[in-house]
């Protein structure tokens, strides 16, 4: 989605400009992270799943619990988890007390991979925002939280 250029003479409402700017910014930052993670053999979505599962240790999570915590919705979570299981990044086990529930857990191999990525990912994010002073980053964080917390009417 893009908006008409300023030279087209069309007045673009501020909210429309902000919406597009947020999407463009998120895309730019995501592409940089995707390129970095690609070198480690992961997609951004796979990395997100692994971070979620690391935080859910040792209990693990059902598929729906992972989906609820994802940054962006993946319409085919089962297929994503299938691929990750084949790579040895996760394990899945049907629960004995409720056979409908399949718990997903991160493997030791994936935990080691995440550990090697933690500092480099942190450094990437520092580089992505190094041009902004800490006070402005705090303001930006609060504003983005406010946007996410809104109530649609």
Domain boundaries, the chain: 14-148
Please give the Cα distance from 117 to 37 (Å, whole number): 8
**CB-count burial class (<10 Å; 0-12, 13-18, 19+) for 46:** buried
**pTM for this predicted structure:** 0.84
CATH code of the region 14-148: 1.10.10.10
Q: What is the pLDDT of residues 97-119, one digit of tens each?
A: 877 888 999 999 999 999 999 99
Q: What is the pLDDT of residues 20-64, one digit of tens each?
A: 999 999 999 999 999 999 999 999 999 999 999 999 999 999 988
């Amino acid at each position: 989605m893009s908006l008409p250029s300023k030279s087209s003479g069309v007045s673009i409402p501020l909210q429309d400009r902000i919406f597009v700017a947020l999407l463009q910014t998120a895309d730019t930052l995501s592409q940089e992270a995707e390129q970095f993670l690609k070198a480690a053999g992961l997609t951004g979505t796979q990395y997100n799943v692994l971070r979620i599962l690391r935080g859910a240790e040792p209990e693990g999570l059902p598929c729906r619990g992972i989906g609820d915590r994802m940054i962006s919705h993946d319409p085919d979570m089962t297929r994503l988890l299938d691929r990750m299981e084949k790579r040895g990044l996760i394990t899945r086990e049907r629960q004995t007390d409720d056979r409908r529930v399949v718990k997903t857990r991160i493997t030791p191999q994936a935990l080691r991979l995440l550990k090697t990525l933690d500092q480099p990912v942190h450094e990437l994010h520092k580089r992505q925002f190094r041009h902004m002073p800490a006070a402005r980053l705090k303001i930006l964080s609060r504003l983005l939280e406010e946007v996410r917390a809104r109530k649609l009417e």
